[in-house]
Structure 1
Amino acid sequence: MQSHVITGNAAIDAAERRGWFVGEFITPTDDPRSTSALEVKWGIHVAGDRRAQWAGPSDSATLSVLISGRFWLQFPDREVLLADLGDYVLWLPEVSHSWWAEADSVVLTVRWVAESRERFNRSFNHGCELADNPEFGQNP
Structure 2
Amino acid sequence: MDETVYVGNAGVDGATNGGWLLGHFMPAGEVRHSADVEVKWGVHRAGESRERWATGERRTTLLVLVSGRFRVELPDRTVLLAAAGDYVVWGRGVDHTWYAERESVLLTVRWPSVPGYRVGPPVVRA
Worse-superposed segment, 55-64 or 72-81: 55-64
CA distance, structure 1, for counterparts of residue 94 and residue 3 of structure 2? 38
CA shift, 1:53, in A, is 1.1
Code of the residue aligned with 1:85 in structure 2: it is A
- Structure 2 counterpart of 1:84: 83
CA distance, structure 2, for counterparts of residue 32 and residue 9 of structure 1? 15
CA shift, 1:5, in A, is 3.4
CA shift, 1:58, in A, is 1.4
Q: Identity over aligned residues, as a percent? A: 49
How many pairs align? 113
Q: Which has the higher strand share?
A: 2
CA distance, structure 2, for counterparts of residue 89 and residue 103 of structure 1? 18
Structure number with greater Rg is 1
Q: Which has the higher contact order (CA 8 A, sep 6+)?
A: 2
CA distance, structure 2, for counterparts of residue 25 and residue 78 of structure 1? 31
The within-5 A match list for 1:1-140 is 2=2, 4-27=4-27, 29-113=28-112
CA distance, structure 2, for counterparts of residue 110 and residue 3 of structure 1? 22
Q: Is the 8 A contact 2:5 2:31 kept in 1?
A: no
Gaps of 5+ in 1: 115-140
Name the Cα RMSD after superposition: 1.4
Task: Map Cα deviations across residues 87-120 of structure 1 (whole Å, 9 max, x no partner).
Answer: 0000000100000000000010000029xxxxxx
